[in-house]
Structure 1
Amino acid sequence: MKFCVALGGNPNAGKTTLFNALTGSRQHVGNYPGVTVDRKEGRYVQNGHDMHIVDLPGTYSLTAYSVEEVVARDFLVSERPRVTINIVDASNLERNLYLTIQFLELGIPTCVALNMIDVARGRGIEVDDKKLSRLLGVPVVPIVARSGFGKKALMDAVETVAESPLPQPLRVSYGPDLETAIQEMEAIITGSEFLTNLYPSRWIAIKFLENDEQIMERGRAADPPIADRLEAITRKVGAHIEETLETYPEAMIADHRYGFISSMLKQGVVKERHDRNRLFLSDRIDKVLVNRFAGPIIMLLVLMGLYHFVFTYSEMPVAWCERAFEWLSAMASASLSDGLLKSLIVSGVIDGVGGVLGFVPLIMFMFFGIAMLEDSGYLARVAFMLDRVFQMFGLHGSSVMAYIVSGGIAGGCAVPGVMATRTLRSPKERIATLLTAPFMNCGAKLPVFALLIAAFFPHSRARMMFILTLISWAGALLAAKFLRVTVVTGASTPFVMELPPYRLPTFRGLVIHTWERTWQYAKKAGTVILGISVLLWAGMTFPRLPDAQVETFANQRIGFISAAAPQVVEELETASGSRPLSTAAAELKKALMAVDARQTGAALRHSLAGRVGTGLESITRWAGFDWRTNIALLGGFAAKEVIVSTLGTAYSLGTVDAEAADSLAVKLAAEPGWRTLTAWSLMIFVMFYAPCFVTVVCIARESSWKWGAFSMVFNTSMAFFLAVIIYQVGAAFGY
């Protein structure tokens, strides 16, 4: 038997942990149709039942106040999963059951997973799951998602619900005034079959009273006269309640739902066996980690420790990857005859994409560290501590999470960071956040920084990454302040957030989170980056040098060979790698290689990309960028990883000694035009210049194309200004 099972619940209730425990590696991530909200799906097989598991976005309600709530509700209504598992935090039962009540009012076949009972018991809270099940009329199963406790019993209950008839919607009494209106509206809805093919009639009436815009719009589209009658009743009862009780129907509905929940819990469902003044473990930890003075210091130490962990333990795997690609490049060079195919394979594919894939171990260690901070609950504390700082720069506390997701701790991605701004209610704060979130050091910028740090700061890698992180935060906040006092002015709004309890991350969860993010990075390198690398290789290869110039270089070689003694030429032609050359043969080889280097350099400059890069050099030289760097930065507009792959291709095309399979970092460090000051200028420019194309599209979809174009112009102008200042000031002081 095949059927669909949805996982729904509040944020931080353990929904994703349960999803990972159920599906393991049998899962994939996509988007819901028409929106950029993640849709995670997987499979779970038990007793011959093949269950299609869908992890719904975390939400506190089914009222359409946010995109996540609309997505979750639309899935439940349109897809009609056979069972919905409602994950409930046992230590915050009253708040979590608010969503449960809405599931039951919608008539959804539900099974309640009472998660984190170990945390609840640690706080002295005992929940009578059997009594709660009897009062709700649905199965309630105690579980601990991170350890797997109760998983089998939960899925047994899911099978029972799947094989049972569809339940009747729950009826909560909303008091005389609202109940009179609801019954009147129910009669109209049932009599005219108004949206009843989608929703229960009583639920539709309640949604009109809550002024749910999506349901009201659907109603107007389906039957305008009936929608007008229902809205008239809503206005009438709303005016009456406001006049007599000084409140609104939405608030009364929420109060009665919480009253319904409270009455259940008071029937012996919850027993508290502790002193209410006693501090829980999470609260005691927060006394230190969120302390006004010690908290920020600990936060910086944690960040520095993370980078030390990443660069220390990834150094050897990264070296292995570099050697593997160097060996592959040397093998391809030796196996293929000279020509376009060899150039494409070696320079376009291996040295291009290999430069990006070589950093996979570093990216993987970074994602593992971030997953530990995220799963433990510490990242939420970081957002809490930074709220006061963000208010000073005209941003909202929720902006912190958008920054962190974008790469506030190096390794994120600006696309989900931009999407995370949906939680901001103020349009002005939202625009300022989504424009500055791409300043964070995302996983795409990380290979660029790692390359330049390895080349010019090899003995202080963790410290350099820490400094770059602080610079990105400072730059983003200052840019946000500038935007808030110029183009997106407006008052700041207050910030309230939930701090989840501290949890010990499970190894399985860490592995799944690390693998998902690392695989996305590697897949991008093997698809998007590969395609762009090949296109840029073509741009750096065509048009070819004119025959006259090729003949000039050929004549130079002939001249050197003719001037050498015949035995020297013969020695060079028959030389093997094991036998050293004589002084004369070595000098001849060096002279011929110099000619080859001049020819490859001339060919690269003559190519389309070389011409564009050379044309920009008159401007970019103020920031210390040569024409090869310009080519790489132009490719970076598509995806920041392309900067590394393009530099790899450019310097590979300029290399004539097949035996010198040095890493790109070594090549840059030895290049005459590169120095520490150049690296600083380039890192700052890459940090702040235009977001990648996908992020720009995301900004446009979340706001408008006007702001998408603005982000490209504003970010690039700011980045170039900073790079010029750094390079010119550094050069003036002799660096």
Structure 2
Amino acid sequence: MTEKLTIALAGNPNSGKTTIFNNLTGARQKVGNWPGVTVEKKEGKLRHKDYDLKIVDLPGTYSLTPFSIEEITARDFILNENPDIVVNIIDASNLERSLFLAIQILELGRPALFVLNMADVAEAKGIKINEKKLSQLLGLPVVFTIGNKNKGIDNLVEAAIEEVSRFSEGKESRDIRYCQEIEGCISRVETGIIQSEMNIDGILRWNAIKILEDDKIVKRKFQDLSDQASERIFQISQACRKRIYDLFEDDFEIVLTDDRYGVIAGIVKETVTNLARKSIDMSRNIDLVLTDRFFGIPVFLFFIWAMFQLSFSIGAYPMEWIDMAVSALSGSLDKILPSSMLKDLLLDGVIAGIGSVIIFLPNILILFFCIALFEDTGYMARAAFLMDRVMHTSGLHGKSFIPMLMGFGCTVPAIMATRTLESNKDRILTIMMTPFMSCSARLPVYIVLAGSFFAEKAGTVIFGLYFTGIIVAILSGRFLRTVFFKGEEAPFIMELPPYRMPMLKSLLIHMWDRSKMFLKKMGGVILIGSIIIWALSSFPRSIAYSVDYDEKINALKADYSQMIATAAAQEAEELNRQLSLELKDIENRKEQERVSNSYIGKIGKGLEPIFKPIGIGWRASVALVTGFVAKEVVVSTMGVLYGVGTDEGEGEALEKALKKSGMTALSALSMMVFVLLYVPCFATVVTIYRETSAKWAGFNLIYTTMVAWGMSFLVYRTGIMLGLS
């Protein structure tokens, strides 16, 4: 039985499309005009085995954006006439220019075949294209032809028929993914279309993109279906377009075009080898260094080190100002309020807890500013490209490193960003690895411990922790891939957008958007956590002390009062100073005994056998457990447990309290490693559950905690063996 198929030929002008059309159809052509359009229409027929093929030569065009008559005609035919397959004729000697139309054809979601024509011209120019890799990346067949020599035409026809057959068996077109902001807009408009329940033509994603591009033809079709529903969709689109303009100071169409060229640059980087010397643009000149296989990674590591050094060094100044403000507030309230449980709650619970964390806001802002700088300049994509070879050791590719890099900011959106990965195995594996990337919530813990025990080397220590997280993530990925995710790696396209001069407005918007999460936690989970920790550390109120501290205090005052009464003025001043220090020491010992006998002390003592082998005391172990709610709570818990914040700066008081408690540089390092590697927070576990399943969420919780304990044990015991304790 003869089967009829319609093949549409699309391509840029001068790509050899008409030559191939003539080779396919010979004298079996019909020439006229498209209905209502003064553009030449060519149709031809071809008999191939059991198939009657109708070949339609679409007008040559560089784009499917509906501006010119040629563009509208080509797009309308593909959308409305539903050809069985679109064959895109590409000038192989000018792949980068030709791929802009090719990307738009892919977005239509229809069966497609890419034909690399003029293969001989490309070869003469020293251009070598890996057609198998190109086919893998785009998810469609790619064939070479030499149209003017009638070479490869049979391969073209065979590949087209096979691709139509694959789509009839359920194959779907591969989506091209763009930057996070663009993808977020597409997702919101898609949701609006789904909720409208309109019966639309074409695939959902393509319609969403066209509405965001303010495509008048598509918008008119939506209005014809339902004025009310379409208006809601257009409002979502307008809000998205405004956000893109606020971020980039350019229209959505321009930003999307840049992203399309970024995808194209990534495709070319992966598939084209240019054996001849040629002039290259500024982005490529920069890439010669930044993506070089030898220099690229050291440069990347330097940028990451500089980011954390800046966060620590520049952030130290505003930290001091906030520290002084919190201290002044605490001191003022201490003098104003009468002694009561409410006063203890306010000073030792709310202010000590929140104050211990809010001083790190400048560091968080600087960190997010640097991450936004990497994204807006286009360097983030280069970092992922650099890490491609490293990521392959985990059975993944560089594209998986982008969500992981986002994990430096916050793990929750980083895990959600894995949706751009096409392979479900790759998605789950990347999700399992991402929690090892040190999120900004952990930074306050590092700053307190590294600042207290490593002083001027704190920035380097923090950089080392972040780098350790990357290494553990990659090694963990290799292990998990071998055990749970066996199989071939999925192909991918690495987007390499052009370098842009970042706009301050865009950087500040990105920085503020991400920092708002930190501030919301202040009034939510951190406040509640601080109050709970205070309550657990303040009760029971009646405790049987091992020593009568009040009697010791009275005796000490009596002794000193006699000495001061008989001493000279200068000597009396020194005696008063000594009395103050000794009284403070007794009060501290009394407070430590009180806390150790409180409910939270009992919890800590119960946890001590688990954490003692890794050098972590009971107070720190309680802080680690409460850190499961949110990592910022680790610092606020320590602030409450050590009773800091009422007589001097939060940071300075906590630093002294940590050293007095017996914590050493080695045990501080062990604790930082544990904080680095155990599950970031409860919200992360919930997000993993939503993105995968309860099984993987539970596994990640147990797995990350085991890895954290094991690495801390290794660090602590190795340090003791080397005599570093």
- Could you say what secondary structure the match of 1:513 adopts? helix
Aligned equivalent of 1:435: 432
**1:284 CA displacement:** 2.7
The 1-side partners of 2:586 and 2:245 are apart by: 70
Displacement of 1:435:
1.2
Corresponding position: 1:671 with 2:678: no
Contact 2:326 2:650 in 1 (8 A): no
**1:100, 1:333 → 2: CA distance?**
59
Gaps of 5+ in 1: 1-58, 82-95, 111-139, 155-257, 259-275, 572-577
After superposition, residues 119-268 of structure 1 pair within 5 angstroms as 148=249
Match of 2:464 in 1: 467
In the alignment, what sits opposite 2:636?
645
TM-score, with length taken from structure 2: 0.62
CA gap of 1:733–1:72, structure 2 versus 1, over 3 A, is same
1:442 and 1:103 mapped to 2: Cα distance? 43
Q: Is the 8 A contact 1:307 1:462 kept in 2?
A: yes
Q: 2:404 aligns to what?
A: 403
Distance (whole Å) between structure 2 residues aligned to residue 356 and residue 634 of structure 1: 17
1:490 pairs, out of 479, 487, 491, with: 487
CA distance in 2, matches of 1:661, 1:447: 13
Matches for 1:62-461 after TM superposition, within 5 Å: 71-76=188-193, 78=195, 104-105=217-218, 107=220, 148=249, 278-407=279-408, 412-461=409-458
TM-score when normalising by structure 1: 0.62
Q: 1:350 is aligned with what amino acid?
A: I
Q: String of CA shifts for 1:488-532, please: whole Å, max 9, x gaps.
A: 333221221221111111111112112222222122123221111
Whole-angstrom CA distance in 2 between matches of 1:145 and 1:516: 13
- Residue 595 of structure 1 aligns with an amino acid whose one-letter code is I
Corresponding residue SS for 1:543: coil
Asked whether the 8 Å contact 1:414–1:695 carries over to 2, the reply is: yes
Is the contact between residue 529 and residue 639 of structure 1 (CA under 8 Å) also seen in structure 2?
Answer: yes
Higher mean displacement: 715-724 or 666-675: 666-675
What is the SS of the residue equivalent to 2:456?
A: coil
Q: What is the CA-CA distance between 1:108 and the residue it aligns to?
A: 5.2
Q: C-alpha displacement at 1:719, in angstroms?
A: 0.4
Query: Which secondary structure state, in structure 2, belongs to the residue aligned with residue 734 of structure 1?
Result: coil
Q: Does 2:573 correspond to 1:613?
A: no
C-alpha spacing 1:630/1:77, structure 2 compared with 1 (3 Å): closer
Letter in 2 for 1:502: Y
Q: Deviations for 1:31-50, whole angstroms, at most 9, x for unmatched residues?
A: xxxxxxxxxxxxxxxxxxxx
- By how many angstroms is 1:285 displaced? 2.2
Cα distance in 2 between the residues matched to 1:633 and 1:383: 32
Structure 1 residues 99 and 387, CA, compared in 2 at 3 Å: closer, same or farther? Answer: farther
The match for 1:690 among 675, 679, 697 is 679
CA distance in 2, matches of 1:564, 1:437: 59
Residue 728 of structure 1 corresponds to which residue in structure 2? 717
Change (3 A) 1:323 1:570: farther
- How far off is 1:690 after superposition? 2.0
Contact 1:561-1:569 within 8 A present in 2 as well: no
- Within the alignment, does 1:593 sit opposite 2:584 as a pair? yes
Q: Which amino acid aligns with 1:647?
A: M
Q: What is the alpha-carbon distance in structure 2 between the residues aligned to residue 715 and residue 331 of structure 1?
A: 43
Name stretches of at least 5 consecutive residues in structure 2 with no aligned partner.
1-104, 110-171, 176-182, 199-208, 224-240, 255-259, 261-276
Residues 664 and 472 of structure 1: CA distance in aligned 2, closer, same or farther (over 3 Å): farther
Whole-angstrom CA distance in 2 between matches of 1:472 and 1:588: 48
Distance 1:564 1:97, change over 3 A: closer
Matched residue type, 2:190: R
Q: Tell me if the contact between 2:444 and 2:635 (Cα under 8 Å) persists in the aligned partners.
A: yes
Q: How many residues align?
A: 500
Distance 2:482 2:607 in 1: 33
* 1: CA distance, partners of 2:250 / 2:372: 22
Retained in 2: the 8 A contact 1:605–1:611? yes
Match of 2:528 in 1: 531
Partner of 1:543: 540
Deviation at 1:713, TM superposition (A): 0.7
Structure with greater contact order relative to length (CA < 8 Å, sep ≥ 6): 2
Relative to structure 1, the CA distance from residue 104 to residue 80 in structure 2 (aligned partners, 3 Å threshold; closer, same or farther) is farther
In the TM superposition, residue 150 of structure 1 has moved relative to its aligned partner by 8.0
Contact persistence 1:326–1:661 (CA under 8 A): yes
C-alpha distance in structure 2 between counterparts of 1:329 and 1:451, whole Å: 20
Q: Is the 8 A contact 1:377 1:503 kept in 2?
A: yes
What percent identity do the matched residue pairs reach?
Answer: 34
Distance 2:455 2:634 in 1: 20
Q: CA 1:144–1:420 in structure 2 vs 1: closer, same or farther (change >3 Å)?
A: closer
Q: Higher mean Cα deviation, 337-346 or 316-325? A: 337-346
* Aligned-residue offset at 1:636: 0.3
Classify 1:562/1:492 alpha carbon distance in 2 versus 1 (closer, same or farther; 3 Å): same
- Maintained 8 Å contact 1:533/1:646: yes
Residue 398 of structure 1 aligns to a residue in which SS?
Answer: helix
In the alignment, does 2:478 pair up with 1:481?
A: yes
Match in the other structure for 2:553: 557
The DSSP-based 3-state class of the residue aligned with 1:609 is helix
- CA distance, structure 2, for counterparts of residue 144 and residue 344 of structure 1: 46
- In the TM superposition, residue 565 of structure 1 has moved relative to its aligned partner by 5.2
Contact kept in structure 2, 1:384 and 1:497, CA below 8 Å: yes
Q: What letter corresponds to residue 308 of structure 1 in structure 2?
A: Q
Q: Structure 1 residue 362: deviation in Å?
A: 1.2
1:629 aligned to 2:620? yes
Equivalent residue number for residue 699 of structure 2: 710
SS at structure 2 position matched to 1:460? helix
Give the Cα separation in 1 of the matches to 2:650 and 2:440: 26
- Cα distance, 1:97 vs structure 2: 7.4
Task: Please tell me whether residue 506 in structure 1 is matched to residue 503 in structure 2.
Answer: yes
1:590 offset after TM fit, Å? 4.4
| Per-residue deviation, 1:60 | 8.3
- Give the secondary structure class of the aligned counterpart of 1:673: coil
Query: What is the CA-CA distance between 1:305 and the residue it aligns to?
Result: 2.8
Deviation at 1:704, TM superposition (A): 0.8
Structure 1 distance, partners of 2:108, 2:401, is 25
Contact 2:389–2:397, Cα closer than 8 Å, also in 1: no
- Cα distance between partner residues in 1 of 2:524 and 2:353: 12
Amino acid at match of 1:507: L
Q: Tell me, yes or no, if the aligned pair for 1:431 and 1:703 is still in contact at 8 Å.
A: yes
* Deviation (angstroms), 1:629: 0.2
